[in-house]
Amino acid sequence: MTWLAVALLVGAVGDLEHLHLDAAARGSLLVGNGQTLRGGTYRAGASLQYSHANLKDPGGTLLRDRFAVTITGAAGITHWLEFSAELPVIVHQVSESAAFAPSSAGLGTPFVHAKVSILHEGFPVAVWASLGFGIPVGTPAALGDGGFAFLPRVNVGRVFTRLQLGAELGALFRERASQLYVSLAASQLGEGLRGEVSVRGFVSLSGAKAGLELLFGGRYPAGNFELFFLGGPGFGKSLTTPTFRVYGGVAFGNGGPPLPRCTESIRYPVDECPELDQDHDGILNGVDLAPTAAEDKDGFQDEDGVPDPDNDGDGFLDAVDRCPNEAGEDEGCPVVEPPPPPEPLEPAEPEDPPEG
């Protein structure tokens, strides 16, 4: 391959990276589950990425090895608005072509994202939309700058008790190498190590070949920290799809686990679903003082949602209390004192006999 052909190829590529981890990671590490971070919660992480054969031409591999570190952060502003950012740094890369000598290190394209929740409570699926902006301050000589970039995305997901699913449709618009993509993911929920699998397929808008990546990952929580890894092969004839890539990293946050949807058919957090009625007593969670224990409808304080097994508090349960609304010790009834005995009558004095 001639030097001119290499120069034209690199100029057409611009920013080599087209895969972005989800900074909030509510679903898989790559694909969301339709949920945004709740207001006041956050997640920050750092990962080391290695990719092999990340740039190819019809004659073979141009960029053999690439190492990069990416710093990510996401914060929930309200229950429906989330902001995130990512900063990629190319630590080291090695070329296999004598005619192609990119810088061995440099800055990638930083991105900022705004994410808005569209569907959340009361719906069987969650949906968010996001718009990301790439800032063209990367290092062109290290294939880290593709000019201004825009990344609109729509994500839909469903959280079950032990599994969550996500699907994402997006477009990466850049001055060079724009593309459309679709991603699917399934990930486990629960304690300990959680596995996940994601697949991302894309097609270039400049007429280049399509590509696909299949990534398997795992996440292990330890308090507010999380260790994670992700990796897998690439397929297709796209010039920028690596033969394989791997990530390893750590994250810290206070967002907690993903939340099931607000539907009565699955388990859900009561405080996140005030319009439902978990104990099915006719009193909504938002005003029920005991939302997980059904009110006993017996005419005594039935409006607060709290069951009252002993209305009068005398220690006799209503089921056996003969006077459930009146405290007493006689099988739940007040003890009735016997009437006092009548006073004895004093003997009458004899009458004087009549005179005469």
| Most confident option among 13-17, 136-140, 200-204, 215-219 | 215-219
Q: What's the pLDDT band for 193 if we cut at 50, 70, 90?
A: very high
Provide the mean pLDDT of the chain: 86
Q: What's the pLDDT band for 296 if we cut at 50, 70, 90?
A: confident
Q: Are residues 285 and 238 in the same domain?
A: no
Q: What's the pLDDT band for 308 if we cut at 50, 70, 90?
A: confident
**Predicted pLDDT of residue 23:** 96
Q: Are residues 247 and 281 in the same domain?
A: no
**Predicted pLDDT of residue 2:** 47
Q: Are residues 95 and 164 in the same domain?
A: yes
Q: Which residues, 6+ apart, have CB-to-CB distance to 109 below 8 Å?
A: 15, 17, 88, 134, 135, 136, 137, 138, 144, 145, 146, 149
**Predicted pLDDT of residue 271:** 76
Q: Are residues 172 and 310 in the same domain?
A: no
Report if residue 352 sits inside a domain.
no
Q: What's the pLDDT band for 273 if we cut at 50, 70, 90?
A: confident
Phi, psi of 91 (to 5 degrees): -85, -45
Q: Are residues 228 and 102 in the same domain?
A: yes
Q: For the segment 42-90, what is each residue's pLDDT rounded down to a tens digit?
A: 999 999 999 999 888 767 788 889 999 999 999 999 989 999 999 999 9
Q: For the segment 6-49, what is each residue's pLDDT rounded down to a tens digit?
A: 444 555 567 888 899 999 999 999 999 999 998 999 999 999 99
Tell me: pLDDT of 338 over 60.
yes
Report the CATH number that the domain containing residue 84 is assigned in CATH. 2.40.160.40
Report if residue 342 sits inside a domain.
no
Report if residue 126 sits inside a domain.
yes
Q: What is the rounded average pLDDT of the residues 181-185?
A: 97
DSSP conformation letters of 174-238: ESSS-EEEEEEEEEE-SSS-EEEEEEEEEEETTS---EEEEEEEEEEEETTEEEEEEEEEEEES-
**Predicted pLDDT of residue 136:** 92
Q: Could you give the number of structural domains in the chain?
A: 2
**Predicted pLDDT of residue 356:** 57
**Predicted pLDDT of residue 227:** 97
Q: What is the rounded average pLDDT of the residues 317-341?
A: 78
**Predicted pLDDT of residue 267:** 64
| Cα 137 to Cα 149: distance, rounded to the nearest angstrom | 11
Report if residue 314 sits inside a domain.
yes
* Both tokens assigned to 74: 């996401």
Q: What is the rounded average pLDDT of the residues 111-119?
A: 95
Q: Are residues 283 and 242 in the same domain?
A: no
**Predicted pLDDT of residue 150:** 95
Report if residue 345 sits inside a domain.
no
Report if residue 351 sits inside a domain.
no
| Cα 149 to Cα 133: distance, rounded to the nearest angstrom | 6
Range of the domain at 115: 3-253
Tell me: pLDDT of 310 over 50.
yes
Q: What's the pTM? A: 0.73
More confident residue, 354 or 63: 63
Q: Are residues 180 and 291 in the same domain?
A: no
Maximum Cα–Cα distance for the chain, whole Å?
A: 168
349 CB-contact burial (10 Å; exposed 0-12 / middle 13-18 / buried 19+): exposed
